[in-house]
Structure 1
Amino acid sequence: MNDKKQLAVKRFFGLDFLRALSISLLLFSHSSWIYNSTGILGKLQDASGFLGVELFIVLSGFLIGGILYKQFLHENYSLKDAGLFVSRRLMRVLPSYYLVILIITIIYLLFGFSVSEVWKYPLLIQNFSSPLPAFFPESWSLPVKEMGYILAVILLLAISKSFTKASKQVLFLTVVVGLIAFTLLLKLYYDIYSTNLSLTKWSFDIRAVVIYRIDSVLIGVLLGYFYQNYNEIMISKRKLFFAVGILIFILLFLCIMVFKLRLTNASWFWNILCLPLLSIAICMFVPFLLSWETPSKSIGNSITFICNIAYSIYLVHYSIVLFLMKYFIDTTDFGLWQLNIFAIFYVSITVALSYLFYTYFEKPINQFRAKNLKLNDK
């Protein structure tokens, strides 16, 4: 598929809303550093950050998965096509990511913090099989997504050359489901041999480690596959899918809040089932969101604006903006109204800086990418 056709594809308000919601939840979550939130508010902020990142991962998998699947169906799918897909994807995320790594590295050096493990970040291996270092902690989800796509592309290329007579649809499904199953086996291995009883450690050891999380992005890719092949059924049954998603969320809530499943008494739930079930629940909402019309032009424009700068917000909001604000402004003795003003400035600076970052760096690179890196459409 060439880029002109990709750029002309209709934007879905529901998916844009989901992306805007995910980045908003992330900002709300990290505001806990401002308020030092405890109690119900603190738990809500923790949950919002948790959900926001999962929304981001699954949605990315759905959108990129559809592109990958359509490209893989081409009869002349080759190493060049696979390489071009990976190049396009990395060109989308790496330039801005590298610039932010450079900025944060300079900040750390100026303030005397360690940068001994920074070399891992450009290679996207900072959390491949072990917990993320303290440097740029919010970046953990980027390797999860990109490594998921890269592994899928490598296996798709290998299996297409090995089974030239087999159905491309079957091969694609085999690779994606196989990778999901392999990730679940790794989680099972972790559950058997780990003695982790801390939710904080679980978040570092499982939730934010690539080899245990690529199933989430691939569940999104799997949804992209089904949408490409069964979109009429998915849209016609969208309310049923939505209800299933709600039921899965209720089930997760009951397991955690009512049945009190904890790492101490049900490690299997947290280590193996919790995150994949959450990813599946999010997928169940997508068909409904695909049919969601824009309520008004002003709302649509606002959501589109947030979506456009969402990646820039993701990169700069925490380890640059909030870190520097907290470093130079002591909020220890601030009252509630002062903290609220601080939070308003935090969000305003983040949005303004992200807009500049997007307009003068990210957008020009995306335009270059669209013009010069075109996927095969024949």
Structure 2
Amino acid sequence: MIDYQIVASKRIFGLDFLRSLSILLVLFSHISWIYQSEGLVGKMQDFSGLIGIELFLMLSGYLVGSIILKQFLTQQYTFKEVGNFVKRRLFRILPSYYLILLINIFIALLVGFSIPNWWKYFLFIQNFSTPIPTLFPESWSLPIKELSYVLVVLILFAFAKQVTLNFRKTFFLSIVYGLLLFSVVLKIIYHIENPNFSLQQWTAEVRSVVVYRIDSVMFGIWFGYYYAEYKSFFQHNSSLFFWLGILLMTIFVFFLLFFNLNAVAWFWNIVALPFISMSVLCFLPALLLWDKASDKLSELVTFLCNLSYAVYLIHYSIVLFLMKYFIDTSTFSLLQLHIFTLVYLLITFTLGYFFYTYFEKPINTFRVSNFKLNGKKIFQR
């Protein structure tokens, strides 16, 4: 892999696998709405949703953060260069997001649901400092990701003229550490000011709110910096990092399943999310070396990777909501629930395929053809 950037002709199988795994974990988590799962299965689904989004944030932070770093170190970082980066991000995220948002608004109006603060969704601030409203609730991770990038880019742009090229690495890393610390401090303040705790409240008020989650994206950017600087070290010790990640995840799952952590406020408010982020990062060195697999596995993973954004946008508030709204599953047998789930997945991936093929892909093709970094076409996931 070329340091700091992903070139259109160079895809790394391990990263595609991680993205595919992320969307499958999210789907598995939301299937709990069909089965109303409890006990061990319910905990596994809760955990899969938690990990799935963290994988998504870590991978995106690494990929996009590496591009931001490359620009900052090699260019004057003028308004034109920053604007070019912003345009690439807008063309990657907003067309699909806005179309699905409009469909969600239409569905909400059709079924008579109220949609307070609907305008915030168009500015990506629906969950900036408060819990996300009921409309399009799964969209909460997108503002976390995109606003974190915008914040980093704006800070770098504000000081670019004052920072000499030979000091920019240090300055970039200082910004990342500063934002990491800022997010953790906000978590601590929230913990102090909110003595009453429940996991449902934590999910709404901490896990899904931008100002408390900037650190998740920063961890990905942080890894991207050190991987570029010490690539041989991470490659040489990739197995060690991989097994360390397995150990950390095992410890987390063990305590989650066999100890009652539901009421341990300090663990969830302050420790859990950074711990998961660091655990996930341990897998990246090995995944970055996994550049190819068998043809059949590669085709499957590429298919899932390509459809992941479309599936993420439509799977819950559109497909699953409408199916649950028109079909009462409360009296279904287990076999009927399995059939319902299979139909749900078939509809989701079929619609995701058509959405990707006829809407998202053409826009991405235009974006790659017209927006370049240092004269080279880039591939941004």
TM-score (normalised: structure 2): 0.94
Task: Report the CA distance between 1:233 and its aligned residue.
Answer: 1.2
* Alignment partner, residue 317 of structure 2: 319
**CA RMSD, Structure 1 to Structure 2 (Å):** 1.7
* Alignment partner, residue 187 of structure 1: 187
* Alignment partner, residue 334 of structure 1: 332
Pick which of 75-84 and 180-189 moved more.
75-84
Question: d(CA) in 1 for partners of 2:219 and 2:335?
Answer: 43
* Alignment partner, residue 24 of structure 1: 24
Question: d(CA) in 2 for partners of 1:75 and 1:362?
Answer: 30
Pick which of 89-98 and 69-78 moved more.
69-78
Pick which of 344-353 and 323-332 moved more.
323-332
Alignment of 1:158-169 (within 5 A): 158-164=158-164, 167-169=167-169
Question: d(CA) in 2 for partners of 1:356 and 1:322?
Answer: 17
Task: Report the CA distance between 1:293 and its aligned residue.
Answer: 4.6
Report the identity percentage. 52
Alignment of 1:103-182 (within 5 A): 103-164=103-164, 167-182=167-182
* Alignment partner, residue 272 of structure 2: 274
* Alignment partner, residue 89 of structure 1: 89
* Alignment partner, residue 365 of structure 1: 363
Task: Report the CA distance between 1:142 and its aligned residue.
Answer: 0.3
1:282 alignment partner AA: V
Aligned: 1:305 with 2:303: yes
Question: d(CA) in 2 for partners of 1:41 and 1:7?
Answer: 40
Question: d(CA) in 1 for partners of 2:247 and 2:253?
Answer: 10
Alignment of 1:215-230 (within 5 A): 215-230=215-230
- Name the CA shift for 1:192/1:253 in 2 (closer, same or farther; >3 Å): same
* Alignment partner, residue 349 of structure 1: 347
Question: d(CA) in 1 for partners of 2:6 and 2:255?
Answer: 42
2:107 alignment partner AA: I
CA deviations 1:41-78 (Å, max 9, x no partner) are 11111111111111111111111111111111114221
Question: d(CA) in 2 for partners of 1:350 and 1:322?
Answer: 8
Pick which of 176-185 and 78-87 moved more.
78-87
CA deviations 1:188-217 (Å, max 9, x no partner) are 111111123101100111100000001001
* Alignment partner, residue 379 of structure 2: none
Question: d(CA) in 2 for partners of 1:9 and 1:164?
Answer: 33
Q: Is the 8 A contact 2:40 2:257 kept in 1?
A: no
Task: Report the CA distance between 1:295 and its aligned residue.
Answer: 3.3
Question: d(CA) in 2 for partners of 1:356 and 1:29?
Answer: 24
1:93 alignment partner AA: I
1:300 alignment partner AA: S
Question: d(CA) in 2 for partners of 1:240 and 1:9?
Answer: 30
Q: Is the 8 A contact 1:148 1:217 kept in 2?
A: yes
Question: d(CA) in 2 for partners of 1:254 and 1:44?
Answer: 11
Question: d(CA) in 2 for partners of 1:331 and 1:260?
Answer: 31
Aligned: 1:288 with 2:286: yes
Task: Report the CA distance between 1:97 and its aligned residue.
Answer: 0.3
Pick which of 49-58 and 290-299 moved more.
290-299
Question: d(CA) in 2 for partners of 1:72 and 1:48?
Answer: 35
Task: Report the CA distance between 1:79 and its aligned residue.
Answer: 1.7
1:267 alignment partner AA: A
Q: Is the 8 A contact 2:43 2:257 kept in 1?
A: no
1:316 alignment partner AA: I
Q: Is the 8 A contact 1:176 1:221 kept in 2?
A: yes
2:286 alignment partner AA: F
Aligned: 1:59 with 2:48: no
Q: Is the 8 A contact 1:22 1:55 kept in 2?
A: yes
Equivalent residue of 1:224, what SS? helix
Equivalent residue of 2:372, what SS? coil
Question: d(CA) in 2 for partners of 1:152 and 1:255?
Answer: 35
Task: Report the CA distance between 1:257 and its aligned residue.
Answer: 4.8
Aligned: 1:202 with 2:202: yes
Pick which of 219-228 and 345-354 moved more.
219-228
* Alignment partner, residue 234 of structure 1: 234
Runs of 4+ residues deviating >6 angstroms: none
2:271 alignment partner AA: L
Question: d(CA) in 2 for partners of 1:155 and 1:128?
Answer: 18
* Alignment partner, residue 244 of structure 2: 244
Equivalent residue of 2:328, what SS? coil
Pick which of 285-294 and 348-357 moved more.
285-294
Task: Report the CA distance between 1:261 and its aligned residue.
Answer: 4.2
Aligned residues: 372
Q: Is the 8 A contact 1:81 1:376 kept in 2?
A: no
Pick which of 7-16 and 77-86 moved more.
7-16
Question: d(CA) in 1 for partners of 2:161 and 2:180?
Answer: 22
Which stretches in structure 1 are left out of the alignment for 5+ residues?
Answer: none
Question: d(CA) in 1 for partners of 2:213 and 2:47?
Answer: 18
Question: d(CA) in 2 for partners of 1:287 and 1:170?
Answer: 23
Equivalent residue of 1:367, what SS? helix
